[in-house]
Structure 1
C-alpha cells in the first residue's frame, strides 16, 4: 500500500497544480477539469493575504518574501488533501522553478500542469477581463520571471488556444486520468 505523498508505481496523480501567467486561463480550465474528474478545486488566489492583493491591485508585483507565506499555505492545502487521500486541483501561477519546488518537493502525488500561451493572446484576454485584482499592467513582470517547466519536472504542458473544455480533456488524458480516451485535437 502506498502513502499519500509517495504513491506506488502506476498510481495516478493526487493533486494537479495548474500554473501559468495571469490570464492564461488557469481558473477556468481548472474548474472544467475539476468538474470533469469530480475533484475538489481551489483557486490559489484565495490564499493571498489582503495586503498582497492590495499590493497587486495597485500595480506592484509581489516579491519572493511576499510569495513565501502564500506558497506555504498552498502547500499546506496540498498536504491536507494528500493525507486524506482525496484528489484535488489547485491553481497557482508558480512561475519560477523554486516556487514549483515548494509545492512538489517530497510530494510524489503532485503533478504540474503548465498552461502555455503567447503574450499577445494573453494580453488580449486580460484586456477583456473584469473584476480581477491582477492588472494587465503586471503581465510583463509575469513573463519576465516565467521559467517554463523543464523536462525533469515531468509537467504536462498544454497550449491555451482551444476552448477550456478541450484543454481540460487534454490534461485528463495526458495525466492518465481518463484511460482509453482519445486526446482531443485543437481546432486549426
Structure 2
C-alpha cells in the first residue's frame, strides 16, 4: 500500500497514517474495512461489493492508527468528477480527526488529478458529517427526499459538492 502521514491539527491519534488501497492490500484488511462499513451503515453493502470498490474507476483510502484500521474512504472518479461514495470511522475513533484526515486526502487527490468537483450524499441527520463537509468547502446543492432507508421508513439525503477552485 502506498502511504503518507496525514495528521490533522486537532487529532488525538499519535500516528495516523492514510494509505491508498492497492492490489497488494491484504484481504484481511479489506474485511476489517467492511466490518467498519457494516457498523456505520444501516443498509451495508455485501463484502464482495465493498471489495470491488477498490478497483478502477474507484479508489480507496485506509486510515491506520499504528496497526489498527480505524477508517476508510471510497471514491469514484469519472472523467473530471469524483464522488465520495462512502467514508466511515470506527466508533471509538470518531471525533478524533480521522474523518477530517481522510476527507483532506480525498480533496488533495482530487486536486492532483484535476477533478473539477467532488460530489457526495449524506444523511440529513448526520450533522457532524455535514459540518465537516461544510468546513472543507462543500456546498449544499439539493435535498433528495426519502433516499436512505431507516428503521422507521426513509430519510432525506443532502447532496453536496466541492468545487475545485483551482480549476475555475
Q: Under TM normalisation by the shorter chain, which class is it? A: 0.3 to 0.5
* Structure in which a larger fraction of residues adopt strand: 2
Larger Rg: 1
| Higher relative contact order structure (alpha carbons within 8 Å, sequence separation ≥ 6) | 1
